[in-house]
């Protein structure tokens, strides 16, 4: 049954993120924010002078980086504090201040790229040859001139930079509405007993409950609250899409898809290859849904049955045990990798572990160079939570190794490669456990997590959401209005096609699923989960098969940060995502899981 969700102040400190390692107190945080605002003139003074000499340019670059690193710390502290308890008004105010500060700094340093373009590629290449300290920026300079035709004047760039804060309003409004303000009607079990519904327990507990009445009533409660506010939610997402269209036109791209993928030098064919391969392989999903229906002994299967446990004996895995199993699975990556991961989880408090009232839905890894790569999640002692932990630790170890091996200029990495690292850990975990575990219930739960959890989310829902995202953006680009009803119908149509003829679709409620994914406020983010899981299977397969240099190539990928374009970094590691092959290979792996599940349940 569902667990009791405690208020934040009842959670033991040892189970919370190590906030004091970033700032000892909110007072210290406030002082640093004010100090950053006072230091803005120290980077603004270089405006108009970058072309004076390579020494001046280097000083400006180093000053900007030093300030931006401080900005990252202030912003992440506020954002993480807010997400672990969205009802904390103090944290909400801190996040608002941090966003305003970020906007001011972004506007202040926006002169950089236009002035670098004005200096010219030939001069900068010459300076980087003569000045070794400048040469570390070679890849970022190369990328800047690739994007030259879409960089505007200093005045326009400054204006676009300052728009980041107000244009984030729709996302912030939705987050506050669904995470802090929404109060869901209680669900009921088959005996009529009330069960609390929260953002923290809906996905990680209620949708996985063995009592179908709990799942149904929780789903209806959860989605009906979203339907109640469908016009507000639709307006917010529509506003975000209009923002994307605005920036697309401001930077003179042909479409929002092209504009989004252009930033990472990814051709639009990568997106379309994924969607076409997904649609081609829908029969694989239809077979799985039918196997699941039979295993659950249902006359008809619905959306809220997709996470229902097939086995009646769900294995329980403590957080500490999960860390042990994940560590064993990742042993092929070497002792240093595993020891770092274990220390982060068990000693340095990288993870904000358990659910609490007001905690944001979902899980994520977030930090900055100079902090730990923190993880926010709601661990529930089940296989799905263990898998989520493995996933987020993939992100965190990616960040840790990038920050350790790259200068600040390349200390971030794109969302496109991020989902490779996170899914990689999950694939390695399954590969190890499917070989070493003999308990039938554990194996069924593990495959359910793989197909019904990970694959269903990243290889079914995300491609459907990507299709929804493309269609809604194209409608706005062509001047068509977006309404709550049109978005609801579009989502219902796409899920109906995806589920096939044997899954019953509750159109009004399933049609609002888009409103439960905050990912849609990051344009063209969701498709990268599916390309990520494809890249992860290709790379982990090489390691599990023992191919020469596979481990070294993968660790090199984790250490590369943004020092190379995403597709180039992945090709060097051993996978080419410009072709449909990795997506096809991943469907083949999923099919093998389905085959084994069918054997186990029969």
Residue with tokens 């923190």: 374
392 is catalytic: yes
- DSSP H helical segments within 332-459, as ranges? 335-346, 383-405, 415-436, 440-447
CA 96 – CA 172 distance, rounded (Å) = 9
* Residue 89 CB coordination number (10 Å): 10
Q: Which among 413, 459, 458 is positioned nearest to 569, based on CA atoms?
A: 413
Strands 364-366 and 374-376: antiparallel
Structure tokens given for 331 = 């042993």
Number of H helices, E strands in the chain: 27, 7
Structure tokens given for 476 = 């706005």
In which element (H, E) is residue 152 found? none
Contact status, residue 386 vs residue 535, Cβ threshold 8 Å: no
The three-class DSSP label of residue 365 is strand
User: In sequence order, which residues have a C-beta less than 8 Å from that of residue 53 and are 6 or more positions away?
Assistant: none
Please give the biggest Cα pair distance in the chain. 78
Structure tokens given for 84 = 């672990």
Contact status, residue 491 vs residue 513, Cβ threshold 8 Å: yes
- DSSP H helical segments within 265-382, as ranges? 268-280, 282-295, 319-329, 335-346
Q: 65, 208, 392, 448: which one is catalytic?
A: 392
Burial of 263 (0-12, 13-18, 19+ CB in 10 A): middle
DSSP 8-state assignment for residue 143:
H
The dihedral built from the CA positions of residue 555, 561, 563 and 567, taken in this order, carries a sign that is: positive
* Residue 302 CB coordination number (10 Å): 20
Strands 301-302 and 503-504: parallel
Say how many CA atoms lie within 13 Å of 152 toward its Cβ: 15
In which element (H, E) is residue 351 found? strand 351-352
Q: Which among 430, 490, 352 is positioned nearest to 16, based on CA atoms?
A: 352
Q: Which among 452, 456, 394, 397 is positioned nearest to 425, based on CA atoms?
A: 394
CA 476 – CA 474 distance, rounded (Å) = 5
Q: Which phi and psi angles does 228 have, rounded to 5°?
A: -55, -35
Please identify every residue annotated as catalytic: 392
């Amino acid at each position: 049954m569902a667990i009791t969700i405690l208020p934040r102040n009842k959670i033991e400190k040892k189970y919370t993120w190590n906030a004091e390692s970033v700032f000892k107190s909110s007072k210290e945080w406030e002082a640093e924010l004010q100090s950053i605002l006072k230091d803005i003139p120290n980077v603004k003074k270089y405006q108009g002078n970058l072309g004076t000499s390579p020494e001046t340019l280097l000083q400006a670059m180093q000053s900007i980086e030093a300030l931006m690193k401080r900005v990252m710390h202030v912003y992440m502290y506020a954002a993480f504090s807010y997400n672990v308890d969205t009802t904390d008004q103090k944290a909400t105010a801190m996040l608002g201040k941090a966003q305003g500060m970020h906007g001011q700094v972004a506007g202040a340093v926006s002169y950089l790229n236009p002035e670098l373009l004005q200096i010219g590629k030939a001069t900068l290449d010459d300076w980087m040859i003569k000045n070794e300290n400048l040469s570390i920026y070679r890849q970022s300079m190369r990328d800047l001139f690739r994007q030259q035709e879409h960089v505007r004047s200093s005045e326009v760039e400054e204006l676009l930079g300052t728009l980041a804060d107000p244009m984030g309003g729709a996302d912030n409004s939705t987050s506050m509405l669904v995470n802090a303000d929404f109060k869901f009607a209680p669900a009921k079990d088959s005996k009529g007993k009330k069960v609390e519904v929260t953002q923290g327990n809906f996905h990680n507990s209620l949708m996985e409950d063995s009592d179908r009445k709990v799942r149904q009533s929780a789903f209806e409660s959860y989605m009906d609250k979203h339907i109640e506010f469908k016009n507000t939610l639709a307006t917010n997402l529509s506003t975000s899409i209009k923002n994307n269209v605005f920036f697309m036109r401001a930077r003179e791209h042909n479409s929002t898809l092209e504009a989004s993928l252009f930033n990472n030098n990814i051709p639009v064919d990568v997106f379309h290859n994924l969607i076409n391969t997904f649609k081609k392989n829908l029969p694989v999903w239809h077979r799985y849904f039918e196997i699941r229906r039979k295993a659950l002994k249902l006359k008809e299967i619905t959306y809220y049955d997709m996470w229902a446990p097939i086995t009646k004996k769900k294995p329980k895995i403590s957080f500490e045990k999960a860390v042990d199993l994940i560590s064993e699975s990742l042993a092929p990556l070497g002792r240093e990798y595993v020891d770092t991961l274990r220390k982060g989880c068990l000693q340095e408090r990288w993870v904000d572990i358990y659910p609490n009232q007001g905690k944001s839905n979902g899980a994520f890894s977030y930090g900055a160079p100079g902090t730990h790569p923190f993880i926010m999640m709601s661990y529930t002692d089940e296989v799905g939570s263990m898998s989520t932990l493995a996933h987020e630790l993939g992100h965190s170890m990616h960040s840790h190794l990038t920050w350790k091996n790259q200068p600040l200029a390349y200390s971030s990495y794109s969302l496109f490669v991020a989902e490779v690292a996170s899914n990689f850990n999950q694939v390695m975990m399954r590969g190890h456990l499917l070989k070493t575990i003999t308990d039938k219930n554990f194996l069924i739960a593990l495959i359910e997590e793989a197909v019904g959890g990970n694959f269903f989310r990243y290889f079914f829902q995300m491609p459907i959401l990507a299709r929804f995202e493309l269609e809604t953006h194209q409608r706005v680009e062509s001047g068509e209005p977006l309404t709550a009803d049109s978005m609801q119908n579009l989502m219902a149509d796409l899920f109906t096609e995806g589920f096939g003829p044997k899954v019953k679709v509750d159109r009004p409620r399933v049609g609002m699923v888009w409103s439960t994914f905050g990912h849609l406020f990051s344009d063209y983010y969701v498709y990268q989960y599916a390309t990520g899981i494809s890249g992860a299977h290709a790379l982990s397969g090489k390691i599990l098969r023992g191919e020469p240099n596979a481990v070294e190539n993968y660790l090199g990928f984790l250490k590369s940060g943004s020092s190379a374009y995403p597709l180039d970094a992945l090709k060097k590691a051993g996978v080419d995502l410009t072709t449909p092959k990795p997506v096809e290979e991943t469907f083949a792996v999923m099919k093998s899981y389905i085959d084994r599940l069918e054997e186990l349940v029969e």
